[in-house]
Amino acid sequence: MQTGKHALVALGSNLDFGGNPPKMVLAEAFKALKAEGLTVERASRLYQTPCFPAGAGPDYVNAAAIVTSRHLLDPEGILAALHRVEAAFGRERISRWAGRTLDIDLLALGDLIRPDLAGFRHWQGLPLAAQAQQAPDQLILPHPRMQDRAFVLVPLADVAPDWVHPVLGQSVREMLAALPAAERDAVTPLACD
């Protein structure tokens, strides 16, 4: 899982699309990934997560997956495919942390660090207030804040608990255990109907 064509992705939705509630949006998004040439090797359960930042909108439904591709080997190609799926589900980038019909983040591609270690560390260390105002103009891998977000790590632990962050040297399981219990406990499995 450390190298090669395996990508870790996080999915989230907190707005209906086409009459479908967020959990159905995610189910359809998994199918749409396949149409883009991405094979979902493993998918997490669906989780309900409080909206971030608190009070900014309805709760999210979140999931994570390991995806592979025979054709999309570079991170930009994979990211472009993820953006096409988001667009097909009405994703609009109006403002940072706004509600979303579908959000798919490329969390990691094996042990690749992009653009370089200094670039990664800059975005990883950005204070929360600055994160709300600034967004990188290039792909940062691994995702610079994945280690801080229970809504990413809880589902990711379902599919890749032993993946090791190439900069932090911690597994998904270890990063999750380092978060406050209240944050972990706020991400709850969604009841199946």
Residues annotated as catalytic (active site), given as ranges = 91, 100, 103, 105
Specify the pairing of strand 47-49 against strand 60-68: antiparallel
d(CA 143, CA 51): 19
Helix spans in 56-112 (H):
75-88
Spatial contact of 153 and 176, defined as CB atoms under 8 Å apart:
yes
What is the distance of C-alpha 43 from the center of its chain? 12
The residue among 44, 137, 52, 158 whose CA lies nearest residue 98 is: 52
d(CA 86, CA 71): 20
Strand partners, 42: 66
Strand partners, 171: 164
